[in-house]
Amino acid sequence: MIERIIILEDIDPVVFFGINNINVQLLKTLYPKINIVARGNVIKASGDEEMMADFEEKIRELEKFSVDTNVLKEEDIIEIVKGKTPEIAKQQNLIIYGLNGKPILARTKNQQKLVDEFDKNDMVFAIGPAGSGKTYTAIALAVRALKNRQVRKIILSRPAVEAGEKLGFLPGDMKEKIDPYLQPLYDALEDMLPPFKLKEYLETKVIQIAPLAFMRGRTLSDAIIILDEAQNTSKAQIKMFLTRMGMHAKMIVTGDLTQIDLPSKQQSGLLHSISVLGNVKGVGKVEFDKNDIVRHRLVQRIVEAYDKSETKEKEARKREREDIKEKRNRI
């Protein structure tokens, strides 16, 4: 008789043990000579010494499979215990497996280009219209790096542009005031990580979500750092952010230059940084367009309609300036 305590650090207990511990019951059937007790992320096993070595090895294989795919079905357990590899449909352009084993893919050419640029460079700018998947793809890459233990944390940030409202007048404490601005980042993470694991990562600050102003004075090492909505930064703000980069860190900066909410006379920090850093080694750039939009089909038509309207307005302003200039020349 031998006893083992097996700690499963990275699993979500609901995924690994199954609803109502159905996966534990299956393991008990497959290993009748071992007494198995599961609590939280710990398995206590006792029984036959020879069978225990195989049991412990298979548990580690099951742990890796469930962490990689975010799912663990009965047939997967049976295959792994038999020494086989569960069949997983090969997905082209796969980034990671999201919640319930849903594959998260690079769905367009430019999304795949962002994946490639991220692998080649330590800093990448991803520019394009709303709905093109630039932020979602960036967060998927960050989660992949965390799962693969390439980094120790993920840091997500965006400027809190108030869209006509002052933060001080909103109800609640600072977190409650800021969270609505950061909700799109939470939404993406909820697609990619089990609720138990996401809650743990947020509580232990493995994943940090904070407004841009909170980045000042920090050095961000061993991390994937994402700045979203960067078109709403000033030149000073984005310079401050980009220089937070520490050792073994990577940055992705996303933004839409058609949705700048800054005062009309203030230049976007994103626009300025792209021009300044365009030829710097180790800095990549991906430009998304309306063909990358993966939301409702109407979104692409809306973007096209606004582009046409803005082009007409620019042409009208140009003609107006030319008319004024011509009248002045006549005088």
Residue 98 sits in the same domain as residue 231: yes
Three-point CA angle 141, 70, 94, nearest 5°: 40
Reported as a single tens digit per residue, the pLDDT across 234-249 is 999 999 999 999 999 9
- Side-chain half-sphere exposure of 237, counting CA atoms within 13 A: 25
Q: Cα angle at 140 between 138 and 141, to 5 degrees?
A: 65
Residues 252 and 301 occupy one common structural domain: no
Same domain flag for 272 and 133: yes
Same domain for 39 and 142, yes or no, is: no
Q: Are residues 157 and 185 in the same domain?
A: yes
Asked if residue 173 and residue 35 are part of one domain, the reply reads no
- How many Å apart are CA 255 and CA 274, to the nearest integer? 11
Which residue, 34, 56, 81, sits at the end of a domain? Answer: 81
- What pLDDT does 162 receive? 47
pLDDT at 128: 92
Domain containing residue 314: 296-331
| Closest among 307, 271, 276 to 289, alpha carbons compared | 307
Task: Examine residue 211 and state whether it is found in any structural domain, yes or no.
Answer: yes
The total number of structural domains in the chain stands at 3
Reported as a single tens digit per residue, the pLDDT across 6-39 is 999 888 888 899 988 999 999 999 999 899 999 8
DSSP conformation letters of 211-268: EGGGGTT--B-SEEEEE-SGGG--HHHHHHHHTTB-TT-EEEEEE-TT---S-TTSPP
CATH (domain of 163): 3.40.50.300
Residue 88 covered by a domain: no
Domain match, 135 and 12 both: no
Q: How far apart are CA 256 and CA 271, in angstroms?
A: 10
Rounded Cα distance between 289 and 300, Å, is 10
The H or E element spanning position 146 is helix 134-147
96-106 tens-digit pLDDT: 999 888 899 99
Amino acid 252: pLDDT: 97
Q: Which residues pair with 157 in a beta bridge?
A: 210, 227
Half-sphere exposure of 120 (CA within 13 A, CB side): 13
Give the residue from 58, 81, 104 where a domain finishes: 81
Judge whether 316 lies within some domain: yes
* Same-domain status, 63 and 153: no
Indicate whether 179 and 68 sit together in one domain: no
Q: Pick from 28, 58, 81: which residue ends a domain?
A: 81
Q: Is 77 helix (H, G, I), strand (E, B) or coil?
A: helix
**What's the average model confidence in pLDDT over 271-283?**
92
Residue 323 has pLDDT above 80, yes or no: no
Residue 166 has pLDDT above 60, yes or no: no
